[in-house]
Structures are given as C-alpha cells and as structure tokens.
Chains A and B, each alone.
Chain A
C-alpha cells in the first residue's frame, strides 16, 4: 500500500465516523423530543410504558400511542401520563379511553360476548382442522393394507415364483 492510498483510506474512514456520529446524534434528538418525562417512581414509569404500548392511536390505526407521532397520540400520551401522576390506575386510564373512543382503542380487547369469536375462533378452527386431518390419515392407513382374494394371492405367488 502506498502513502497516497492510505491517506485516502484514512479520509474515508474519518468521513464514515463523522456520518455515523451525526446519525447517532440526530437519532437521539428525534426520540428525546417524543419522550422526555420525569417519573416519580418505577411503577408509574412501567404503567405508562405499558399503557402507551397497549393503546391504539385513532389517527394512524395500525400504530400504538408509543409509536405514533400524530398530534392526537401526543395528546393522549400526555393525558395518560397526567392521569397516572394523579394516582389513577391502569384500569382507570383504559376505562377513560374506552368511554371516549370505544373498545377499538385497546390493542388487546377484553374477553366479552362480542369478542369471544376473535379470541377462541382460531383455536376452534385448529381443533376442527386437526380432527379432520387425523380422521383422513386414519382412514387412508386402514385402506393401505389391501386384502387379496385367494385367487389373487395364488397368482401373485405364481408370478413371484414362490
């Protein structure tokens, strides 16, 4: 390696390091802006993080409150945070949201007559499918061993030279 190419290599490495540094810096900025909160204790912090993970953003419906940067998601995160600071429980916050936006706001819907199909439907389908598959497998294994008539058996033995 001559001197020139090693200088170029050093330059490229330096530029890479700078770019990586910039990326890391701005990455930090972006997320710090979304979530900069003081938690009085670990319990509230845990409840808050769990709630914004389990509550749906109504504007961008396939995101939770934690992932969405919609204005409303921001407001609802503030609301959640303030309710927890004021001594409200996780259940209180969920009830507050459901009363306003309906059960759709919960990523994990409660087990109720309206939702039992969603909860147990897949398991019922799986059980039905397994039963059918097993019964088909049994049937075909039963018919697998064929019985030969006396004449067929004789003919086979003859052909096999027995």
Chain B
C-alpha cells in the first residue's frame, strides 16, 4: 500500500482531525482565567439590601432608593490589598463623573473602613456597612474587590471581579453606564 492511499483513509484523518480539534479546545482553555466566574446575577434583579451608611450609621441606604437610575456597587475593605490598586482609578473617575457609586464595606469594622477612606480618598457617593458579610453572600461576592453595574430597573448588568483597571473602566463600565443612562 502506498503513502498516498493511506492519506485518504478515514483511519488516518479522523484521529488527526480529532487531535487538532482537541489541541484548539485546550489552547483556548489555557487562555481563560479560571478565577473569573460568570455571575448568575447578570440579567437578574439586584439582591435587595438596606444597610447603615458608613460614617452616618443612623441612616440606612436601601437598594430600592436607587430605582430609576443606573448605579455602581463596588465591594471594598480596608484589609483588601487589591482594593488599594484600584482605588486611585475610582478616585479619578469620581472627580469627573456624577455616577451614583455605592461602596459595600465588606467584612470590615466600620472604624477601619472610615480610616481607610480618610487615608486614600473617598470616591463613593456613599458606603454601607456589611460587617458580617451577609449582603456580600447575597451578591455572590468571593474575591474582593468586585464591581457591579445595576440599571435603572434594578437589574444587574455587569460584574467585574478583582481590581478595576483603566481599560476595563474605559472600555466596559463607562460605555455601559452611558448606554444605560440613555435607556432611562
């Protein structure tokens, strides 16, 4: 039997195709980040909470107060090292924009949270105290910092896990917020 007739036989090209297909699949898999899980909350109503405001704990902020306008929830903590990396980006954003940004001070003694904001600047419209992390569980928080965008109908539209970068802010969050404000 010659080489040429071997090449035409299915026994030759079926395993080869299968092998190349498997290589492509695994190569794509290697480029994904396994720690970034798709949030099941996207497209669903944002979990409702009513929590005391950091620095003004007699007052309560409730998610239902925010219906009718898009807003951002940023989960942060004074013990969170990665939060320090994204904080300057949030500060810069807050200087130039009027977006309603809620900080969820996650599993943090309020005094620590306040001291942290005094030291690094406060980009939030307000921060709320989630000392026991219960609200964090409802929002599926597992890797602080995390950032959610909620639309005017109270639906979660976007989630970013880990520190926000300039590119994720400019290419994803800002265009989405712009689009959502036009929807209203």
Q: Chain A interface mostly helix, strand, loop or mixed? A: helix
Q: Is the CB of A72 within 8 A of B142?
A: yes
B34 surroundings in chain A (CB, below 8 A): 61
Chain A, range 78-127, C-beta contacts under 8 Å to B: 79, 98-104
Contact with A along B134-150 (1 / 0, CB 8 A): 00011110110000000
Q: How many chain B residues have a CB neighbour from A under 8 Å?
A: 16
| B35 part of interface (Cβ distance < 8 Å) | yes
Please judge, given known A-B contacts A58-B142, A59-B142, A101-B142, whether A71 and B107 are in contact too, CB under 8 Å.
yes
| B38 part of interface (Cβ distance < 8 Å) | yes
| B37 part of interface (Cβ distance < 8 Å) | yes
A132 surroundings in chain B (CB, below 8 A): 11
Q: Is the CB of B133 within 8 A of A100?
A: no
| B40 part of interface (Cβ distance < 8 Å) | yes
Q: Is the CB of A58 within 8 A of B133?
A: no
B137 surroundings in chain A (CB, below 8 A): 75-76, 79, 100
Q: Is the CB of A102 within 8 A of B40?
A: yes
Q: How many chain A residues have a CB neighbour from B under 8 Å?
A: 16
B138 surroundings in chain A (CB, below 8 A): 100
A100 to B129, CA, bound (A): 20
Q: Is the CB of A102 within 8 A of B133?
A: no
A102 surroundings in chain B (CB, below 8 A): 37-40, 140
CB distance from B162 to the nearest CB of A (A): 12
Given contacts A79-B137, A100-B140, A102-B38, 7 further A-B contacts (CB under 8 A): A61-B34, A75-B133, A100-B138, A101-B37, A101-B140, A102-B37, A102-B40
**Residues of chain A whose beta carbon lies under 8 Å from any beta carbon of chain B:** 58-59, 61, 71-72, 75-76, 79, 98-104, 132
6 cross-chain pairs, A with B, having the tightest CB-CB distances, nearest first? A58-B142, A100-B140, A102-B40, A101-B140, A104-B37, A75-B133
**Residues of chain B whose beta carbon lies under 8 Å from any beta carbon of chain A:** 11, 34-35, 37-41, 107, 133, 137-140, 142-143
